[in-house]
């Protein structure tokens, strides 16, 4: 048995189902070992796509997604998706091939110090230089990727080490039990909530990772406390729940800003500061905060909790709930905010203007998608509208790259989502800019038999940057480009391609595309004039409470 074969056995022991990657000369031994493995190797068209697939796989399953590249340019292509997983707390293990240790000390073809290069975008990384250490390195990698604050790790395997003979076996996987919050912090949190007149729950990505939706729902219902979520906390309670105040996180003021301004306590559950900086919603640090999470709060002058409740989130919330002495408040003052939000959302239901407004498209998309179906957002102006206007019934049914916010994630991510949930409808929503960054992975989707729909918000430019430029300078520059015929491009891949020519056409076109047994692409002209209109409205926002 050589080191590469032991590595693959260790991956099998960790429960790895898929490895996403691109074959290369320096990972030949690993690829050969995978031929005899239960693990399915998914050949992608670009290493970035492979990393994004592993990223979304990890986010949906809680198990580390695995991606593989060769050295040099293969590894540098991989790094964007690895960084995305790390900042979005998605468990991921990246494996790179490397030159032999016998030529690392000299200038060598395609050689880069990958351990140094991956260090800033991973929680831990290591190079296997002794074959006998392989089992320990793999076990440590998965342990660090999947526990605490999960994220990305990296293993570098030189080609001569991969081919060396070794004896050994995989190490036993941890069976970590839950950790529980200290009773003193639980009581302090309960006392703070009991005293508060206008508390608000802010839910983040950590609550989704911890599968704490049920405990949050119980607290909301019993204490009648309204709840808002970050972009990555969507679906923690159904969006139609009367105490759901939908998503916070836009860089401009919105209805939810009014609710936060008027709150006298924010109960932050599973909130990561990278999701939405506290300086945006608590700039002076005046709003008291109760922090509930698996890990302590990051240090930030605008986020200094009065108490940190550290441990299993569901148990912590249950224990706090048992100790809160608070009267139910059915006529909650934040209801006015929800009424305004709902009216704003519903006003686009019958808007048939064309090109279609982003609010209308997302309203119609919500009508077609079921509670368990999955939408993946790429990054661009459409991401802002999805965050604000696409609402969820269940956790992990709208996936948004937010910490690293990398364009190009939607199509590779949709492939992973469909592999994990083949019975659900999956839709990737992307701008025309993001679409062209990883559209080559549509061939991968066809080859794998993972049909999903890609909706392109087509405005012929980088719409989000144009929006920002107008906000800053009153004009835009360098953001326009030409597009191919997206329908013809889709058909050249062997996919279904559609072009929306009227707003009335969108829903029937989407339903037809979702019924296809191959991936489908919908080219949809979009009216991004709504971007600047929203900016104007946000400046004039008057709070009703």
**pLDDT confidence tier of residue 540, bands split at 50, 70 and 90:** confident
Cα separation, 169 vs 7, whole angstroms: 9
Cβ count within 10 A of residue 327 = 8
Res 151: pLDDT: 97
Res 545: pLDDT: 65
Asked if residues 99 and 111 have their Cβ atoms less than 8 Å apart, the reply is: yes
Show the tokens assigned to 51: 């990393």
Cα separation, 29 vs 15, whole angstroms: 21
Sort strands 398-400 and 265-269 into parallel, antiparallel or unpaired. Answer: unpaired
* Burial group, residue 169, by CB count within 10 angstroms (0-12, 13-18, 19+): exposed
Res 360: pLDDT: 98
User: Looking at the predicted structure, is the pLDDT value of residue 144 above 60?
Assistant: yes
Cα separation, 209 vs 337, whole angstroms: 28
Cα separation, 498 vs 506, whole angstroms: 10
Mean pLDDT along residues 239-263: 89
According to the CATH classification, is domain 347-537 in 3.40.50.970?
A: yes
Lowest mean pLDDT among 173-182, 210-219, 300-309: 173-182
Please name every residue paired with 428 in a beta bridge, in sequence order, or none if there are none: 376, 454
Q: Where in the chain is the domain with CATH 3.40.50.970?
A: 3-162, 347-537
Res 544: pLDDT: 64
User: Looking at the predicted structure, is the pLDDT value of residue 398 above 90?
Assistant: yes
**pLDDT confidence tier of residue 255, bands split at 50, 70 and 90:** confident
* CATH class of the domain whose range is 3-162: alpha beta
Asked if residues 454 and 522 have their Cβ atoms less than 8 Å apart, the reply is: yes
DSSP assignment string, 387-415? HHH---SSTTSEEE--SS--TT-HHHHHH
Lowest mean pLDDT among 110-124, 328-342, 361-375: 328-342
Q: What is the pLDDT of residues 467-501, one digit of tens each?
A: 899 989 999 999 999 999 999 999 999 999 999 99
Mean pLDDT along residues 271-283: 93
Considering the chain, what percentage of its residues have pLDDT values greater than 90?
A: 86
Residues in Cβ contact with 259 at an 8 Å cutoff, skipping those fewer than 6 apart? 200, 226, 228, 245, 334, 337, 545
Q: Where in the chain is the domain with CATH 3.40.50.1220?
A: 183-333
How much is the pTM?
0.95
Mean pLDDT along residues 255-272: 93
User: Looking at the predicted structure, is the pLDDT value of residue 329 above 90?
Assistant: no
Pick the residue with more confidence: 496 or 257?
496
Vertex 459: Cα angle to 458 and 460 (nearest 5): 100
Question: Which CATH number, 3.40.50.1700, 3.40.50.1220, 3.40.50.300, 3.40.50.620, labels domain 183-333?
Answer: 3.40.50.1220
Cα separation, 264 vs 254, whole angstroms: 19
Res 332: pLDDT: 63
Q: What is the mean pLDDT of the chain?
A: 94
Distances (CA, A) of 377 to 91, 319, 362: 19, 36, 11
Q: What is the pLDDT of residues 502-531, one digit of tens each?
A: 999 999 999 999 999 999 999 999 999 988
User: Looking at the predicted structure, is the pLDDT value of residue 330 above 60?
Assistant: no
Cα-only R_g, the chain: 24
Res 327: pLDDT: 66
CA 206 from centroid of its chain's CA atoms: 12
Asked if residues 384 and 373 have their Cβ atoms less than 8 Å apart, the reply is: no
Mean pLDDT along residues 222-239: 95
Res 331: pLDDT: 40
């Amino acid at each position: 048995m050589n080191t590469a074969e032991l590595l693959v056995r260790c991956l099998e022991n960790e429960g790895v189902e898929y490895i996403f990657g691109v074959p290369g000369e320096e990972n030949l031994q690993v690829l050969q070992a995978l031929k005899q493995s239960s693990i399915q190797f998914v050949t992608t068209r670009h290493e970035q796509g492979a990393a994004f697939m592993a990223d979304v796989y990890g986010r949906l399953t809680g198990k580390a997604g695995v991606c593989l590249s060769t050295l040099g340019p293969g590894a540098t292509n991989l790094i964007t998706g690895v960084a995305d997983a790390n900042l979005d707390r998605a468990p991921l293990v990246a494996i790179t091939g490397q030159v032999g240790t016998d030529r690392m000390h000299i200038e060598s073809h395609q050689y880069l110090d990958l351990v140094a290069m991956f260090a800033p975008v991973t929680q831990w990384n290591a190079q296997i230089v002794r074959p006998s250490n392989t089992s320990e390195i793999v076990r440590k990698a998965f342990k660090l990727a999947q526990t605490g604050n999960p994220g990305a790790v990296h293993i570098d395997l030189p080609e001569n080490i991969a081919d060396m003979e070794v004896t050994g076996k995989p190490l036993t996987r941890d069976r970590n039990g839950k950790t529980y919050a200290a009773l003193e912090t639980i009581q302090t949190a309960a006392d703070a909530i009991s005293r508060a007149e206008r508390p608000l729950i802010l839910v983040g990505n950590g609550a989704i990772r911890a599968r704490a939706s049920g405990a949050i729902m119980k607290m909301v219902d019993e204490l009648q406390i309204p709840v808002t979520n970050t972009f990555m906390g969507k679906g923690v309670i159904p969006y139609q729940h009367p105490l759901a105040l939908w998503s916070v996180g836009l860089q401009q003021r919105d209805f939810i800003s009014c609710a936060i301004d008027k709150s006298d306590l924010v109960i932050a559950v599973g909130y990561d500061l990278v999701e939405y900086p506290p300086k945006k919603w608590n700039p002076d640090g005046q709003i008291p905060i109760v922090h509930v999470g698996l890990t302590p709060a990051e240090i930030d002058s605008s986020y200094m909790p009065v108490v940190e409740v550290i441990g299993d989130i569901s148990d912590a919330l249950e224990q706090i709930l048992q100790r809160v002495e608070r009267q139910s408040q059915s006529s909650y003052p934040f209801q006015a905010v929800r009424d305004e939000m709902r009216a704003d959302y519903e006003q686009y239901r019958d808007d048939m203007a064309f090109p279609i407004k982003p609010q209308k498209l997302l309203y119609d998309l919500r009508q077609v998608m079921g509670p368990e179906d999955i939408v993946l957002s790429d990054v661009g102006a459409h991401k802002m509208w999805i965050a604000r206007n696409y609402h969820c019934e269940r956790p992990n049914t709208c996936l948004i790259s937010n910490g690293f916010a990398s364009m190009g994630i939607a199509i590779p991510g949709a492939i992973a989502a469909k592999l994990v949930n083949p019975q659900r409808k999956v839709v990737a929503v992307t701008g025309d800019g993001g679409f062209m960054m990883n559209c080559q992975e549509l061939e991968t989707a066809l080859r794998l038999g993972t049909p999903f729909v890609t909706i392109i918000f087509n405005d012929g430019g980088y719409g989000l940057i144009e929006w920002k430029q107008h906000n800053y300078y009153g004009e835009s520059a360098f953001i326009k480009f030409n597009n191919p015929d997206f329908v013809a491009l889709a058909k050249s891949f062997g996919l279904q391609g559609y072009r929306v020519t009227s707003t009335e056409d969108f829903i029937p076109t989407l339903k037809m595309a979702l019924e296809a047994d191959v991936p489908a692409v919908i080219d949809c002209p979009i009216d991004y004039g709504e971007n600047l209109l929203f900016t104007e409205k946000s400046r004039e926002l008057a709070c009703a409470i």
